[in-house]
Chains A and B, each alone.
Chain A
Amino acid sequence: MRPFVYERPTSVSAAIAIASRPDTVHVPSTGAGTQFIAGGTNLADYMKLGVARPERLLDLNTLAEPALRQIRIDNDKIRFGALVRMGEAADNNDVRRRCPVLADSLKFAASGQLRNMASLGGNVLQRTRCEYFREISWPCNKREPGSGCAAMEGSNRQHAVLGTSDACIATYHGDFAQALVALDATVDVEGSRGRRTLTFSKLHRRPGETPDIETDLAADELITAIEVPLAQWSSRSRYLKIRDRESYAFALASAAVALDMDGETVRSARIALGGLATVPWRAREAEDTLQGKVLDEATAQEAAEAAFADARPREHNAFKIPLGKRTLVRALLETRDMKG
């Protein structure tokens, strides 16, 4: 591991002040010399592998603002501080009762140990696990822009079928983000140019021609909170995660579903798909097909077909298209059968 400077700022503004030194701006946030670290479960891993090479780490765990560590539940929203641990949010009974998809997307992620360390802010910003990205001797456009993509013609069983580009097909592996993007969550961000609130779907960028730019954040911007609006659909919501083994594995395909039902009929549906796309993936075409329809196998199947109309397989991941469809069908039917 390369030597680095380790600092422990005690307030958000102090952290931003250090992070906004001129050497750190105008590069993608993941490439900046100064990096924030929260649980470290993603960043420290990539530092050991030589993928992330920060010169300076700003430890967010010493920030004093209490709101960063709080979960606040009101009638119409849940607000998570960015430093809330995954485990804490997953195990919160009120979160589970009011919005099961949030709790389950966290509970089915990683392992107990990791959930105790990992923060929600770090979780949504976790970087891809593409094997070729993780090992620095391979060409990878995300790690070394312009070097090529080793996965494109290589081993790509776990890679994305949605939102890919000719430059990169890496999957966004996080689970929590699927629930957030489905539920129209927002993210509070603070940086040297002030505060802003982003809709969650704007946080991540598709790879396009610049897969090294993964988010909309500047290098000195900090996520302070994540807010999820609560509505009729929140309690009838579910996260279905399909993986190679029962626990401690990333999704091959997952679906975050929330339904607002009028009897058998869908008033509105919210759907996101995980393990299948390059970014947290809202399946709006699928949602549209369901509106005003009775939800059954046939309409669920129609929604699934719509969700994957633009899917593009590579050599080893074609199975993800039928799997993704069936995952969505199953998730829709299981969510329908929940008590609203």
Chain B
Amino acid sequence: MNQAAPAPRENQGDPVVRIDARLKVTGQAGYPADIVTANVAHGALATSSIARGKVSELHTKDARAVPGVLDIVTYGDLDKTDMPKFGNTGASSIGPLHDKTVFHDGQIIALVVAESFEAAEEAAMLIRADYEDERPSASFDSKGVKMEPAAGKSPMFKEDAKAGDFDAAWADATVKIDEKYSTPTQHHNPIELFSTTAMWQGDQLTIHEPSQNVTGWKVELARQLKLDQANVRIVSPYIGGAFGSKGPMTARTAIVAVAARRIGRPVRCVVNRMQAFGTQTYRAETRHRIRMGAGKDGRITAFGHEAWEVTSRPDPYVVGGTSATARMYNYGSVLTHVSLVHADRNTPGYMRSPPETPYVYALENAMDEMAVALGMDPVEFRRINEPEKEPIGGKPFSSRSLIKCYDQASEAFGWSKRDPTVGSMRDGDWLVGMGCATAIYPTAAAPCAARVRLTADGEVRVQCGSHEIGTGVRTIAGQMAAERLGVGMDKISVEMGDSALPPAPVSGGSISTASVCSAVMKACDAIREKLFAAAAGKGAPLAGSANAKLDLKDEEVVTETGKSAKLADVFKAMQVGAIEEYAEFAPKGSSPEALSKLYAGQSEFHGGENDEDSVKYAFGAEFVEVRINSYTREIRVPRIVGAFAAGRIMNTRTARSQLMGGMIWGIGQALHEATEIDQRHARYVNRDLQDYLVPVNADIKQVDVILVPEIDHQVNPAGVKGLGELGNVGTAAAVASAVYHATGKRIRDLPIRIDDLIG
């Protein structure tokens, strides 16, 4: 069961090995900061040590005196450029060098450029700022924060979901839960540090930077620098850890580009780990109040979810995960409300399942509490509340295999052996606890273009400006082409991660497999059409065969009756050497301008709860066992089992890796991960991997992934639901449920640590 390459079940593709596996493990995959460039100068950032106020004076004399320093880019030097914008492609509207206002801790106040990295770092440390500082507001409980309703503040979150008469149902409910939950601040800490390398050739600018959105960045950077889009290129062939952190472009990219232009040399700026906390995006802390009412029969009659999210002063970053929690079960009535709390913080941004991770954590914790209050098995409780239709719009689910996931995961886990009595299971000095929770993630797709070329010798080249963020999308796009064009994987090459390629949407929202595969499939099908027409044409090798009956296999065009013609012969008949097709895919329901928006760097998402015909989600069920020492209360997770259904699985190996990685992250979110904020100063305190804890190998024992077969023709032509962000949803709630089962303590605030269980 616990294999790296699970045997494919129904509607699941082969566990093809990643086409870049060898390059990656032998260190030959070139990440953006590895690009060798002659004459490169090194940049280092200087950042603010206050969170709110103004820089009254910047002292750069000592820094300039450091041998090897070439330039210092600071206030005034960006005046000829446009301010960054907050939105899909831009991380924040704060233009740190456009304005001496300090909006948050660790805001860029200068970029030092020097002959060596060491000189740049040293000089950056010598830059001193005098501030007119004001008392900052750090988070929810701080004086001076501004609160407002979130609905309508972001195009991603238009309204608060509601259905039925919540107040009446709540008043009538026989069993009630009314509890508060919270999730902490979390920062992206990919092992590949954030970096920008900028090079100019005349008016042409090339940026090497890990990016999940090369087309969007090209457009946005051209706007900021007032350049023709054709003169900007973003290159990002490999990415070492993305998860949303490299989705929106930050202010640094333009600053480094300006520096390179000023000194007439390429400039590379690799941001150190501490400074990444203030200069990149992160998952902001959230708070939740859940009210749930049910009858004695276990049917939920009322579900209320209020939530609060922190964002920066200027930008309304909203995740609004109530859109998913409100559609999870058959609630009867629903009332939700999301509030934004503006504090003196940098603007948050996407982190793996941005809305679902915190919101589903709260919901699933409440579900577990309700099951206990009802005296009901938590799996049974979910079964009883399985909806026919989603409760908000009354639309059907395009497919929903949640109960199958629960059945297969609980069987593999051995749930039936769990004694439901709290604190009843023990192994020597260790308390044993078992818990479970639901995972959900919306299935979406966005317009995408791809170019596919087939030559007479069967070589296939796929080009698409999507991004290999570690998910395996390059391999999967290749698999799709190999399957449609009837060639082996050894004949396939796939180019991605370059804004010079056909545009693809941002690699976020788990849309890449669906969007990219649908575009690649369309291009391949156009090639098939041409080949088949030629092969069946007058005087051609398979003359007289019906097009629809032809297929491609082993580099041959084959008929149903077993006749075949070699690709090379068909090309000969056509008198061409290569067939190249450029295809544009737009999901059902796309606006007429959706495809032109793709070239303008904007991704129009379709799916999730927004389609007319149905709502589209992938589901999963996760079961966790914890062990808690009866004396010292440290929590360990010996095993976790997750079963997931996500439509067609393109590649069982890469799918398993995504889900396994998600569950591991989920364990980290449950037990380890949290950014500490100094509440007096609104500053991040644990800004390195020594204090910002993530699980290490020794923390992760047995992780089992079950890929539950599911067929869904409604979601997109490829039949694929995204699963990159599914695995870490619900995990923390499953852990919380297991901790409760072991100890009788209900921990509602993450992470769950010894502090909560001792004493």
Contact = CB atoms under 8 A, between A and B. Distances in A.
B632 A327 contact: yes
Interface string B685-703: 1111011010111110000
A245 B685 contact: no
A17 to B, nearest CB: 29
Contact of B693 (A1, A245, A327): A245
Given A319-B758, A330-B631, A135 B687 contact: yes
A155 B676 contact: yes
Nearest to B637: A246
Interface stretch (B118-126, B207-215, B338-346, B389-397): B118-126
B746 interface: no
B672 A245 contact: yes
A178 B697 CA distance: 26
Given A135-B274, A323-B632, A326-B758, A244 B680 contact: no
Contacts of A252: 754
Contacts of A3: 122
B636 interface: yes
A150 B679 CA distance: 12
B745 interface: no
B105 to A, nearest CB: 10
Contacts of A129: 690-691
A245 B672 CA distance: 7
Given A1-B122, A2-B122, A157 B755 contact: yes
Nearest to B701: A246
A233 interface: no
A131 B754 contact: no
A286 B567 CA distance: 85
A157 B696 contact: no
Contact of A132 (B671, B685, B688, B697): B685
Contacts of A329: 631
A242 B688 CA distance: 21
Interface residues of B, number: 36
Contacts, number: 86
B669 to A, nearest CB: 13
A102 B132 CA distance: 53
A158 B690 CA distance: 12
A243 interface: yes
B698 A245 contact: yes
Interface string A129-161: 101101111000000000000100111011000
Interface string A149-182: 0100111011000000000000000000000000
Interface in A2-52: 2-3, 48, 50
A181 to B, nearest CB: 21
Contact of B697 (A48, A150, A158, A247): A247
Interface in A299-334: 319, 322-323, 326-327, 329-330
Contacts of A243: 634
A176 to B, nearest CB: 18
Interface string B630-643: 01111010000000
A246 B685 contact: no
A50 B122 CA distance: 8
A245 B636 CA distance: 8
B49 interface: yes
A64 interface: no
Contacts of A253: 632
Contacts of A330: 429, 629, 631-632
A131 to B, nearest CB: 5
Nearest to A240: B632
B19 to A, nearest CB: 31
Interface in B653-688: 671-672, 676-678, 680, 685-688
Contacts of B562: none
Contacts of A244: 634, 671-672, 693, 753-754
B592 interface: no
18 contacts: A1-B121, A131-B691, A132-B685, A136-B125, A150-B678, A155-B677, A157-B676, A244-B754, A247-B696, A247-B697, A248-B698, A249-B693, A319-B754, A323-B758, A326-B632, A326-B758, A327-B631, A330-B429
Shortest Cβ-Cβ A-B pairs, 9 listed: A137-B49, A246-B698, A322-B759, A247-B698, A330-B631, A319-B755, A155-B676, A155-B685, A326-B631
Given A155-B677, A248-B698, 11 more contacts: A131-B676, A131-B685, A135-B274, A157-B676, A242-B634, A245-B671, A245-B696, A247-B699, A252-B754, A322-B758, A323-B632
